[in-house]
Every structure is written in C-alpha cells, then in structure tokens.
Structure 1
C-alpha cells in the first residue's frame, strides 16, 4: 500500500517560503539598494565639494566670483560639456566608451555654420548640428554593434576622421555666424528669469536623461547590458540594437552641444570640443559611473561637470596657470577611481 504524500509545510497566513524561487528578488534587491544608498552619499559628497569650492571662490575673489554674471558664466560653460556628459554616461554604463565626442561636436558645429547652412537661418543651423551629430553617432554604433569593433578603436577612428573632415570644411579658418536669432540666444536679453537659455537646454537634457535611465525600459536594458551583456542577451535583450541606440544618443547629445557652442561662441571652428571626451569621462567617473559598466547616475555626472567647471573658473580668477588646474583635475579623478574600487571591494565584486 502506497504512503500518502507528506503535507506541504505550513508557514502561516502571513508568511512565505523564503527557500524557493520567490525569494530571488529579495536576494537581488540588496546590491541595487546598496548602490542607490552609495549614489545618494556620493551626490551629497559632491554637493559638499561644490559648497567648499564656492566658499574658496568667495574668499579668494569675493567680488568677481560671487558676481551674478560670473555665476551665470559658470553655468553656461558647464551646460555645453554637461550635455555631452549625459550621453557619455549612458555609453559608459553600457560598458562602452566614446572618444569621439569632442570631434563630433567640432564637425557638427562647422557643418552647421557654413554659408550654405546659414542661408536657412536659425532652424537650418540647429537642424544641421543635430543631424550631423546623429549621423556620426550612427556610424559609431554600426561599427561597434554590427561591425564588432572594439568601442575604443571605433570611436578613436571617428575622432581622427571627424577632426580631419572639420578641418577640411573650414580650411583652418573660423566660420562666423551672421544669423541674428542664433547670436541673440546668447545675449542677456534672452535670459529667462536671469537664467541663460543654454542652461535651460542643459536642464531639459538632464531631466530627459534622468527619466530615460531611471524610469524606462531603455534605461534598465542599458544597465543590464553593462552589467553582463551575455546574461542580457539570454534574457531577450537585443544587445547589438541597444548599443546602436546608445551611440546614437551620444551623437544626438553632441549635436545639441554643438549648437549650444555655436550660440556661445558665435562661430564654428575645427578646434571646437577639444578634449571634451576627457572632460566628459572624468565628470562621469567622479559622479559614480563605473568604467566597467553596469552602474551610474545622471545626477552624479552633472555634479561632476559643475565641480570641474567651478574649479576652472576659480583658477582663472586667481590667475593660476592651467598646468596646476590639470594636476588638480587629475588628482580628483584618481581619488574618485580609488573610491570606486573600494566600494566594489565592499560589494565583493
């Protein structure tokens, strides 16, 4: 005679079995929650650094640094590289890198300021800058996602090609913008409640980037690809298409930044965007984005941009040479990487 099956264990009306698959989310929630807490702490730390820098600027050059015009200048200068950094943050979170952002900004800015383009006015300049940025990002994405080139090599090739094309278009000369509405956008008369329009564009891009990363499937897929591309593929994510979209996003940000730089400088030059790639990567790193991918925050990257821009402004006001400024930036980057390594070690990853 067969014995009846043993009854299932009773956990009570308010309890669940924590030994089966249902317990998996509870196990995986820990690292994510820990990262969120560290991100908050890091952002608060960066805000503290900004407060210290403001205090230093106010003490060393109180009249010049705390002047409203100078504070507007800091935010405006941070806006251009800040938009580039938003795109760079997405790329790095996915486990990639984009060394061509500065060259793409240069190419988009000179293409948008040719005489032929300026004949179409404000809309023609803005449209051209964005389309050129998207086209360059598309090339990067196709080479990396479908051509299987290493991101470092593909974007390095784009860096050289875009710089060369920008030089060929300008013939080494500065292209002056004569379209009045574009120039007016950078004048105090166009400020909204004392805020420059470029800062408002930066704020809009930052908000859109934050929502895209934290509130959409696209953002979750980006983190998944950066954390483990093979696992993401097995989970049903089209990794190649996701990477293509990410480099398109980076190109779009470069196109927007190119238009902002045209407004700010009133010209297009083949030297525009020089070393933007290094500044964007550095800002993302000190903001908490891991170079190995899988983690990062838009807010942290933006705070990193503001820290670097404020340092540059303080050094300029105090007539300190640029080499000292570069040393200070390098020290900040090294400190940020060491903090990242320590946090990873604490995670056991």
Structure 2
C-alpha cells in the first residue's frame, strides 16, 4: 500500500465543549515509527474517557457529573486520567478496529493485512506492569478518530471473528474496563453482582462478563431500557435508582457492586453490600463527590478496589472470549466520523442502549 499524505480526522484542539473537536479533511497521515504499525481504521468506539478528557472532567477542580459540556474552571496541571496535562492538538479515540497496512522497523511484515483491535494501555515494554509508566491511546498519543492511526505493535491485537468492524470496535475499552473491575473484585460463581448503569457500554459488559463467570447478576437501568438490558442475560433487572434499594432487592444478597456511576445514590450501593463484600469502581458519571460513612466500610469488613490501568493479559483474554463467542457486542448506533459531535451528544444523553461507534 502507498500511504496517503493526508487523511480525514476529527482533531481536538483543547479542553471545552464539542466545538473543540474540529473536522479536518486533509490532516497529515502518520507513519509508523520503529516498533509500531499503521492501521487503516474500520471503526472506532466512543467511551466516557473521550468525553471526560475533552471536557477536562478529570481535573480535581471539577466536582460535577459528566455532562460533556465545558466547565467554568479546569485545572491546568491535572485535566486527564493520568493527572498530567494533555498535549493539543490531539486525535482522540481508543477503541479501534481495523487492518494493519504498514509496519515500522523491527515489526514482522507478515503482520500487514491482520485485522486487529487496539489495547489502549500504552505500557513500558521493559516494565509493563508498572502503572506509573502507562499512557492511553487517544490521550498520550493520537488515537482512532481518523482514517489512519499508529500504535505500538504489541497494542494491535489480532482478532479472528465474523463480527463487523463496528461490532468489534465496541469491545476494547468497555469490555476490558469491565473485565478489569471483575478481576480486581475477584468475582466468582459464588457472587451476586449489582451493576448500576447496566444500559451503558461498561455496564452491559459487566453484566455479560459477570455471567461468563457464572455469577448471579442484578442490573439497574431505566425502565425504558429494560428490554434491551434483558438481552444481555441478567438474572434480575430493577429500576435505575429505587427509592429503597434494600427493599427492592428483597432476599438478594449482594456480595459485589461493580460501579461506574457514583453520584448521590452511592451511599445506597454501599449500604446493601453483605459483610465482607467488595466494591469496584471505574467511573463516576453521575458525580465524583459522594457521601461516605466510614463506619459502614470498616464495621462491615468491606473491600474497595479502584480500577483504571488493566493488566496486559486482560485484553488478550477478552479477544479469546470474542473469538469463541462467550461475549457478544452491544452495538447501539453507528455514525460517520464527521458526525462525531452528534455521536457524542447522543452518547452523553444516553440516547442509545449500549455502545456507539464512528466510521471514517
């Protein structure tokens, strides 16, 4: 293949509202450096990291829920997931499915033509388990909201599947985030897992991956989305935020809460955990500031696990689950890349149940 000089790309110019994402029809096409591959993007998924990074929500100066809008004040030294300033302009988008069309020096040319999905965690190859030496695709380097992207070869994971590019682009972030949470919480067949926000991308993945571990799963979701959530296989579906969660659960004994919601409802989630229960968190879309009674925490022998940087084997295990059909995509909608503003607006408004992807 002759690599084009320019490509179409949606480029984020700075923190702020949707207008910070600017469409370019002739952005410079990247070339793979040593150890990297060039991917022709077939589809790229959306996730909360894209929204939060663009808006600056990760900054400690922000205490509101994720809205996707610009905030009055965003700290200049900690506005990204890693707590360091982002370099602009930046092409976001971590969840790529596509094909390798060129390789850099040191990469086997036989990889050209491989269909891949991306492992978003950019690790130090000499110290891959060191979480302080990680970056994120679409954050610390350009990602997939473009026709082409480059990534370290070890982060381009070969996948053999009859699923479409758009379907495969739903997995990388949402499902690896969910599997990372369940791994941290050590979920097994003896557990009953409560999943707030089960209609979202990570929430739906948590339902499927918990069932894969043979756990019992209770899903919380708005009633209008119960039919869609039911297709994911939970054992019980409750409204998004019952007034009395304990009463709604009746005899259910919750041993794990897997949460990406947070917000004002958070104390009820903690209050219903059984003694010795575990709480795993990888997001706070309803708000990062919560009311926390330490007595509930220590008197009930609870364990809390934050989950962001996942271990390298998680994404490879996920690809194996995909290839043998143990998980299925929850593809909600497809938008052209140039309509990324509309796609993010729909994502923020939770217009769809499941994952949204864009295609160049």
Q: Fold-level match, TM-score > 0.5?
A: no
Q: Which structure has the highest strand share of the two?
A: 2
**Relative contact order higher in (CA < 8 Å, ≥ 6 apart):** 1
TM-score, normalised on structure 1? 0.26
Higher fraction of helix: 1
